[in-house]
């Protein structure tokens, strides 16, 4: 194996890791958008809250990292549930306004966090074995990045199970296809929306628990993920599989472009590709509801 | 039936006249150079609010990336101003620091002031025409268009930081001198600069209002309510959407030029996502359907922000966030909607219920 093919293989593996990050970031958004059609601009802040939850649990209660992840899911899920019940549910038939209202929510969440925790960066402790590097024949990748890929698969499997193997999943899919008819069959569509929103928020919380360990924890950290997450969801079309394929494609392409040019320009190229793609397929790869936007 | 005075066109123009007469008279009252510069910058924000009100309020196109046109206009203007201060054959110092020894081709046209200013308006507008054309013919609209503008904006921010030799990266460009138009120098700290920006603000607002009142504006408002129906009536919806989007881009580009002239500084901060969204917040608070109330929204929010000062800034952002949520939830027409309802009730008290209903149907239409 010569150097360039090693570099290429390395960038493919790095791409897989980027794809894992994108997918984890986009998962909650996919569920909320795919089901209720809500563009949740506060998604990045849910991620941020997840990271702060882990930080707070570790600092003030000394809870080990692996236990923090499910707690972050519950805490952020509960916050999401409260926001849905108090604000989002009044705006389901005004999609542009949900976008704006959730932006207001994100402003409040960022500022609230800043007032409570301050603007200085916080750090999340992870177990020793996760912070090492794995090297196999010239290929190397941080163990934590492998853990994120693993978590992406676990979360995808979990969401798939909820959607396709449980009663609640049947209700979600029924409401996604046609809210009125589902409601006339006795499904409490408002309740389904609330719990779906909470589930999506909770998944963002898990993403935050992971990203908080990957990077520093800041009140504004959510902004960095939200645009990428949106692009993944829009390209994927709002379905679970669509987001998985989209994040894999974006991650790998970005990593390969970064090898050829540089990482900033790679992001730019990816963006141009997405615009061109959406020009010819505005509904995304796999459209959840089959409706044209 | 008694008409709501809010909808009376003569009264609307009269209101414009009074407001602009008051704004234009400011330099006669105060000659504090710093204050005038600050107020002129508010005028720039007012232009941005007008531009968003034009495409969002009238056309229903939520543009969360107005910073694209604003930033491009500001950069082009700053490049022009930079080249004015540059002696023949020399290149800006930051380029030397970044290892360039000749003026890059992209900077060449800005050596000439007229060409530079034309480009400052042409480049953003052309970009909006192309981007809007691509998006609207693919029938990308509503929230997705908003997301795409947001993504484009962050792409611009990335690329302007990345192209350090040409844009000086995060430091931005700060031309050492003020803009010279022919023999006249526009000193940013003077009543002249204030009136210059004020005249452009009046021109943009009046032009936008005339557009709204024209046949073109009627179709644009129709497609906000129901693009499918407008399409079935035989209009090419994509062309109307692209044009109104590009016109709003042109106004934002003018605002960008003024901003560069007034602050003598431009940086990737102009492409910041937060700034572009705060324009939307001004307009939403002021009233998206009214150009002049959108402008008031910009004045109020920005004015209050600088009034509360750094000490209470964090509390202020919290208040802003909450009031934004409340306005979106309960008052989709912003303060203009409130004024409309109050005037309607004052004109004919028993019609109050009717107006309230109208208000509600408006809110539903806005949502589509």
Interchain proximity A93–B364, CB inside 8 Å: yes
Q: CA B238, CA A124: separation in Å to the nearest integer?
A: 49
pLDDT digits (tens, 9 = 90+) for A165-212: 999 999 998 988 888 898 899 899 899 999 999 999 999 999 999 998
Chain B: closest CA distance from residue A141 (Å): 26
Distance from CA of B140 to the nearest CA of A (A): 6
Q: What is the pLDDT of residues A231-275, one digit of tens each?
A: 898 888 888 899 999 999 999 998 888 888 887 888 888 888 888
* Strand (E) or helix (H) holding A121: none
- Contact list in A for residue B137 (CB cut-off 8 A) is 279
- pLDDT tens per residue, range B244-270: 999 999 999 999 999 999 999 999 989
Best of A22, A39, A93, A94 to mutate (most B CBs within 10 Å, chain B): A94
Distance in angstroms between the alpha carbons of the first and the last residue of chain B: 29
> B368 to chain A: nearest residue by CA?
A94
The mean pLDDT of B353-361, rounded to a whole number, is: 47
Which tokens sit at A268? 């730019």
The pTM of the full predicted model, rounded to 2 decimals, is 0.86
- Minimal Cβ distance to B329: which of A101, A103, A265: A101
Residue in A104, A227, A280 nearest the CB of B150: A227
- At B308-327, the pLDDT tens digits run 777 777 788 888 888 889 98
- Dig out the tokens for B113 from the structure: 């002031």
Kindly list the residues of chain A whose beta carbon comes within 8 Å of any beta carbon in chain B. 39, 87, 90-91, 93-101, 103-105, 107-108, 111-112, 114-115, 223, 227, 230-231, 234, 262, 264-265, 267-268, 271-272, 274-275, 278-280, 282, 292-293
What are the domain boundaries of chain A? 23-226
Which of A94, A99, A265 lies at the smallest CB-CB distance from B146?
Answer: A99
A41 in Cβ contact with A229 (< 8 Å): no
Structure ipTM over 0.90, yes or no: no
Please name the residue that has the structure tokens 């400052």.
Answer: B120
What percent of chain A is helix, strand and coil (3-state, nearest 5)?
Answer: 75, 5, 20
Q: What is the pLDDT of residues A73-130, one digit of tens each?
A: 999 999 999 999 999 988 888 888 888 899 899 989 999 998 899 888 888 888 888 7
Separation between Cα atoms, residue B81 and residue B84, nearest integer Å: 5
CB A4 within 8 A of CB A185: no
Q: Judge whether B172 and B267 are in contact, CB under 8 Å.
A: yes
User: What residue in B sits closest to A262 (Cα-Cα)?
Assistant: B162
Of the candidates A204, A259, A225, the one whose C-alpha atom is nearest the C-alpha of residue B154 is A225
Q: Specify the pLDDT at position B54.
A: 94
* Residue A253 half-sphere exposure toward CB, CA atoms < 13 A: 18
Residue among A87, A96, A112 whose CB faces B318 most closely: A112
Contact B280 A104 (CB under 8 A): no
Handedness of CA A141, A143, A145, A148 (dihedral sign): positive
B324 and A104 within 8 Å at the Cβ level: the answer is yes
Residues 6+ apart with CB under 8 A from A206: A24, A50, A69, A72, A73, A151, A155
Specify the long-range contacts of residues B31-34, CB closer than 8 Å, at least 24 apart: B31/B191, B33/B189, B33/B190, B34/B189
Residues of chain A found within 8 Å of residue B332, distances taken between Cβ atoms: 94, 97
């Amino acid at each position: 194996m010569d150097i360039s093919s090693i570099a290429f293989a390395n960038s493919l593996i790095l791409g897989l890791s980027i794809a894992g990050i994108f997918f984890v970031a986009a998962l909650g958004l996919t569920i909320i958008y795919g089901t209720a059609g809500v563009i949740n601009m506060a998604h990045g802040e849910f991620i941020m809250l997840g990271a702060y939850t882990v930080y707070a649990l570790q600092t003030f209660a000394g809870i080990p990292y692996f236990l923090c992840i499910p707690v972050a899911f519950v805490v952020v899920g509960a916050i999401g549930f409260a926001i849905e019940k108090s604000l989002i549910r009044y705006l389901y038939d005004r999609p542009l306004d949900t976008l704006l209202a959730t932006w207001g929510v994100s402003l409040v969440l960022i500022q609230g966090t800043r007032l409570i925790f301050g603007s200085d960066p916080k750090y999340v402790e992870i177990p020793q074995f996760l912070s090492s590097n794995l090297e196999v024949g010239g290929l190397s990748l941080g163990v934590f990045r492998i853990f994120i890929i693993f978590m992406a698969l676990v979360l995808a499997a979990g969401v798939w199970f909820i959607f396709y193997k449980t009663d609640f999943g049947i209700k979600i899919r029924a409401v996604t296809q046609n809210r009125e008819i589902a409601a006339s069959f006795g499904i409490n569509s408002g309740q389904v929306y609330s719990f779906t929103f909470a589930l999506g928020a909770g998944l963002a919380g898990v993403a935050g628990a992971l990203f908080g360990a990957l990077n520093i924890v800041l009140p504004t950290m959510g902004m960095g993920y939200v645009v990428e997450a949106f692009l993944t969801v829009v390209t994927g079309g709002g379905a679970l599989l669509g987001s998985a394929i989209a994040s894999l494609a974006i991650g790998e392409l970005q990593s390969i472009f970064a090898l050829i040019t540089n990482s900033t320009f790679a992001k730019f190229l990816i963006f141009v590709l997405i615009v061109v793609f959406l020009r010819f397929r505005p509904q995304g790869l796999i459209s959840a509801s089959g409706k044209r936007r | 039936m008694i008409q709501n005075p809010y909808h009376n066109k003569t009264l609307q123009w009269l209101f414009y006249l009074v407001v602009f007469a008051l704004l234009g008279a400011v330099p006669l009252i105060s000659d504090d150079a710093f204050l005038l510069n600050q107020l002129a910058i508010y005028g720039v924000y007012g232009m941005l609010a007008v531009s968003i009100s034009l495409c969002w309020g009238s056309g229903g196109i939520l543009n969360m990336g107005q910073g694209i046109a604003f930033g491009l206009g500001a950069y082009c203007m700053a490049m022009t101003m930079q080249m004015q201060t540059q002696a023949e054959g020399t290149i800006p110092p930051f380029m030397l620091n970044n290892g360039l020894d000749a003026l890059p081709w992209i900077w060449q046209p800005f050596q000439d002031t007229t060409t530079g200013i034309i480009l400052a308006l042409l480049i953003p507008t052309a970009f909006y025409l192309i981007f809007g054309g691509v998006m609207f013919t693919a029938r990308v609209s509503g929230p997705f268009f908003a997301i795409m503008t947001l993504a484009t904006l962050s792409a611009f921010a990335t690329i302007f930081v990345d192209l350090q030799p040409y844009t000086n990266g995060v430091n931005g460009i700060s031309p050492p001198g003020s803009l010279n138009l022919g023999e006249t120098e526009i000193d940013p700290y003077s009543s002249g600069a204030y009136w210059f920006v004020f005249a452009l603000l009046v021109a943009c607002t009046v032009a936008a209002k005339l557009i709204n009142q024209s046949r073109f504006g009627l179709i644009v408002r129709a497609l906000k309510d129901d693009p499918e129906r407008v399409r079935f009536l035989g209009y090419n919806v994509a062309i109307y959407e692209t044009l109104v989007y590009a016109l709003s881009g042109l106004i934002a580009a003018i605002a960008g030029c003024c901003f560069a002239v007034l602050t003598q500084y431009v940086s990737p901060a102009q492409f910041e996502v937060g700034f572009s969204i705060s324009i939307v917040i001004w307009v939403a608070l002021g009233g998206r359907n009214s150009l002049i109330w959108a402008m008031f929204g910009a004045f109020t929010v920005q004015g209050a922000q600088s009034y509360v000062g750094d000490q209470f800034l964090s509390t202020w952002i919290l208040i802003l966030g909450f009031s934004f949520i409340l306005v979106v939830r309960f008052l989709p027409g912003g303060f203009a909607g409130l004024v409309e309802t109050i005037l309607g009730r004052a004109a004919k008290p028993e019609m109050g219920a009717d107006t309230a209903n109208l208000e509600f149907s408006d809110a539903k239409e806005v949502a589509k």
